């Protein structure tokens, strides 16, 4: 998953770079004969800088200005293959390894080292960026000296984002620190980094829905109060799934009784004025747990975020007062696979036979049709548009056709879809999702 995230982050960075390139091309002019004086690096009178992110609140490693390198006429960027150099630089680090990623030097230092840039080169570039409105802050002279000095550790410390920690030639993001991926870092240093991040981001940091359970636990252990964000659009207390009844369940009860039930007076509890909720529904209409599980599995986990064990045997109101990003991610992954299967069925004229894609695995659908490299390429583009889709190698499905054929019929559709998407294999979505806490 981290590998996918890193690829996505790199793509976002490239788009940002291209946007800056277009902006500079429209507004820039060739001023290569001008040399900026030290007066340009005085920042006291500059307006407060807008917080600009590349990687997101918990994944920023270096300050934006040291990562977002734009083509600016009259500077070192004008006649160099900057973007291909940066792509090569980023690809040298393993995005799935915090050990590797924390060692990544900032983009500006890599370019300074590769192109033998001086402080004058850097000053000219950043001054031009400031004057063109590409950035609204200048690096200090000390920072530019560190970047041009060739000492990676010094440059990393000088360029580190306010929410990151620079230590011993590495720069750790908040996510690395809070998820325990940064070894040998004391709690005092992590707490100090969180404090800096709070100063930078404000109150939104500790109520972000991007916080994982592990990060929340670490923050609480460090003495920070994690503020729970309003979790749903239907109700500020509960996630939307708590107040949403799947149509497959509604179909099991009398329509008139259902209408009357929904019109009951509100009794949702403190600050919750919506009476209808999934736990009350299954209780009031005596929906057996086995029935819910059967319907959930029939939809291969795409029904929604319904933790059936909690709904029947736990405190559903409390459970749904929190956002559960891992559970939602699992549901969205199952939905993305279903969309991919639906496309194959429609593209290949199989909808008369494949009336329900949940009854067929992706491997089964593909094996039904001859391997077509042009169509595989088309599927690849479509798969890239499905953000939640796990990594699936279509060619590998054809390469392992015999093994998959032996599996089909012996294993469930859900199991085979898990197999080809590289996920932990479970026979049913209920079995898979109940493992998510």
Q: How far apart are CA 37 and CA 40, in angstroms?
A: 6
Q: How many C-beta atoms lie closer than 10 Å to residue 404's C-beta?
A: 22
Q: How far apart are CA 305 and CA 58, in angstroms?
A: 25
3-state class (DSSP) for residue 170: strand
Q: How far apart are CA 184 and CA 190, in angstroms?
A: 11
Q: What is the dihedral of CA 417, 423, 424, 425, to 10 degrees?
A: 10
For the chain, the helix, strand and coil percentages under 3-state DSSP, each to the nearest 5? 55, 0, 45
Write out the two tokens for 110: 């890599």
pTM over 0.85: no
Q: How far is CA 30 from CA 67, 72, 133, in A?
A: 23, 9, 16
Pairing between β-strand 165-167 and β-strand 170-172 as defined by DSSP bridges:
antiparallel
Query: CA-based Rg of the chain, rounded to a whole angstrom?
Result: 27
- Give the pLDDT score at 389: 93
Q: How far apart are CA 202 and CA 328, in angstroms?
A: 27
Contact assessment for residue 416 and residue 429, using Cβ atoms and an 8 Å cutoff: no
Contacts of residue 112, defined as CB under 8 A and 6 or more positions apart, other chains included, come to 121, 122, 147, 148, 155
- Give the pLDDT score at 396: 94
Give the tens place of pLDDT for each residue, 321-379: 887 888 989 999 999 999 999 999 999 999 999 999 999 999 999 999 999 999 999 99
Write out the two tokens for 190: 């992590």
- Residue 299 backbone dihedrals phi, psi, to 5 degrees: -95, 10
**How far is C-alpha 120 from the chain's CA centre?**
38
Q: Where does residue 385 rank: exposed (0-12), middle (13-18), buried (19+ CB within 10 A)?
A: exposed
Helix (H) or strand (E) holding 258: helix 255-262
Low-confidence ranges of the chain (pLDDT < 50): 1-50, 265-269
Q: What is the dihedral of CA 216, 219, 225, 231, to 10 degrees?
A: -20
Q: How far is CA 158 from CA 63, 76, 138, in A?
A: 9, 21, 13
Give the tens place of pLDDT for each residue, 50-61: 456 677 889 999
Q: How far apart are CA 432 and CA 139, in angstroms?
A: 49
Helix (H) or strand (E) holding 166: strand 165-167
- Give the pLDDT score at 180: 86
- Give the pLDDT score at 38: 28
In this structure, is the dihedral angle defined by the CA atoms of residues 24, 25, 26 and 29, taken in order, positive or negative? Answer: positive
Helix (H) or strand (E) holding 207: none
């Amino acid at each position: 998953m981290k590998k996918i995230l890193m690829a996505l982050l790199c793509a976002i960075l490239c788009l940002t770079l291209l946007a800056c390139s277009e902006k500079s091309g429209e507004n820039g002019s060739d001023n290569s004969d001008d040399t900026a004086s030290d007066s340009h690096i005085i920042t006291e009178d500059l307006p407060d800088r807008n917080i600009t992110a590349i990687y997101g609140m918990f994944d920023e490693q270096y300050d934006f200005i040291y990562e977002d390198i734009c083509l600016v006429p009259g500077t070192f960027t004008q006649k160099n293959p900057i973007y291909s150099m940066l792509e090569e630089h980023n690809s040298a680090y393993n995005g799935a390894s915090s050990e590797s990623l924390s060692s990544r030097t900032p983009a500006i230092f890599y370019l300074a080292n590769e192109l033998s840039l001086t402080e004058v080169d850097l000053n000219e570039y950043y001054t031009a960026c400031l004057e063109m409105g590409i950035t609204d802050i200048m690096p200090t002279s000390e920072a530019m000296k560190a970047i041009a000095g060739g000492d990676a550790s010094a440059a990393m410390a000088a360029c580190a984002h306010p929410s990151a920690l620079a230590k011993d030639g590495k720069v750790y993001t908040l996510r690395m620190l809070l998820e325990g991926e940064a070894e040998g870092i004391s709690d005092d240093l992590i707490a100090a980094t969180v404090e800096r991040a709070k100063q930078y981001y404000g109150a939104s940091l500790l109520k972000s829905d991007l916080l994982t359970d592990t990060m929340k636990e670490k923050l609480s252990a460090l003495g920070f109060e994690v503020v729970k964000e309003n979790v749903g659009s239907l109700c500020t207390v509960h996630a939307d799934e708590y107040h949403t009844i799947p149509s497959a369940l509604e179909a099991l009860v009398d329509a008139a009784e259902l209408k009357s039930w929904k019109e009951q007076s509100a009794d949702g509890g403190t600050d919750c004025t919506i009476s209808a909720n999934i736990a009350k529904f299954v209780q009031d209409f005596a929906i057996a747990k086995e029935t819910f599980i059967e319907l959930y599995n029939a939809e291969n986990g795409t029904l929604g975020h319904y933790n059936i064990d909690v709904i029947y045997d736990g405190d559903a109101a409390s459970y749904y007062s929190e956002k559960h990003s891992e559970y939602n991610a699992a549901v969205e992954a199952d939905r993305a696979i279903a969309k991919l299967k639906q496309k194959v069925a429609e593209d290949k004229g199989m909808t008369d036979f494949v009336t329900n894609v949940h009854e067929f695995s992706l491997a089964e659908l593909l094996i039904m049709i001859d391997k077509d490299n042009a169509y595989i390429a088309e599927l690849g583009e479509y798969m890239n548009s499905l953000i939640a889709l796990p990594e699936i190698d279509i060619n590998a499905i054809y390469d392992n056709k015999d093994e998959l054929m032996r599996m089909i019929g012996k294993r469930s559709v859900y199991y085979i879809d898990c197999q080809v998407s590289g996920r932990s294999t479970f026979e049913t979505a209920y079995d898979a999702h109940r493992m998510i806490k």
